[in-house]
Amino acid sequence: MKLNVKRLRRFTAERWPKSMGKTHGVNHWDRVARFGEMLFQEGADMDVIQAFAYLHDSQRNNDGEDYEHGPRASKFIDTIRVSQLSALNDEQIDKLKRACELHTIEDRTGDITIDICFDSDRMDLLRVGITPLPDRMATKKGADLVSIPNYKEFYTDFVKKVKDEIAND
Ligand SMILES: [Fe+2]
Ligand SMILES: [Fe+2]
């Protein structure tokens, strides 16, 4: 992995307006990043998955029904490509942009990297009380994980673990 994830995290977290609330802020992004690690499989691109975590919701205008935030994030990527994403090549940027653009529109794409991005975001739906549906997950690993009988318990432990890890980082 060449991408400086901590630097990107700082960059987007600093720009997230305090008025925006917490549903889509850095705490969510941290969990998406960790879920991305959990869902990783051979052939996928971890740099793209980590960059997705910290960018996909970064251009929201509100914490609710902002349907254009995915395409907006995709366009934003062009503007920070040199300053923040120079570690990514053209193909990686293309995947990252597609993942951001489509994350609220498509269930799956068939591209393992993009599909892991989608699932890492969906795995965190319980924060708003929504249990992810296995049929709507993009990867088998994601579908299997949200199908475990004690998913809610697993999720609660996961939230605490990520919080502790970040606090001690
Ligand atoms: Fe989103
Ligand atoms: Fe999200």
- For the chain, give every domain's residue range: 5-167
d(CA 6, CA 4): 6
How far does the centroid of ligand 1 lie from the alpha carbon of residue 129, in Å? 16
For residue 12, what are the CA distances in angstroms to 21, 26, 27, 49, 65?
A: 15, 8, 12, 15, 20
For the segment 68-93, the average pLDDT, to the nearest whole number, is 97
Mean pLDDT taken over the chain: 95
Whether 52 and 118 have beta carbons less than 8 Å apart is answered as: no
Residue 76's SS3 state is helix
User: Which DSSP symbol is given to 132?
Assistant: P
Q: Counting beta carbons within 10 angstroms of the beta carbon of residue 166, is it exposed (0 to 12), middle (13 to 18) or buried (19 or more)?
A: middle
For the segment 159-164, the average pLDDT, to the nearest whole number, is 96
Is residue 144 over pLDDT 90?
yes
Among the CATH numbers 1.10.3210.10, 1.10.1740.10, 3.90.1150.200, 3.20.20.70, which is that of 5-167? 1.10.3210.10
Comparison of pLDDT for 23 and 90, the residue scoring more: 90
For the segment 85-95, the average pLDDT, to the nearest whole number, is 98
pLDDT range class, residue 64, cuts 50, 70, 90: confident
Residues with CB under 5 A from ligand 1 (ion): 57
pLDDT range class, residue 1, cuts 50, 70, 90: low
How far does the centroid of ligand 2 lie from the alpha carbon of residue 122, in Å? 7
How far does the centroid of ligand 1 lie from the alpha carbon of residue 73, in Å? 9
Residue 25's SS3 state is coil
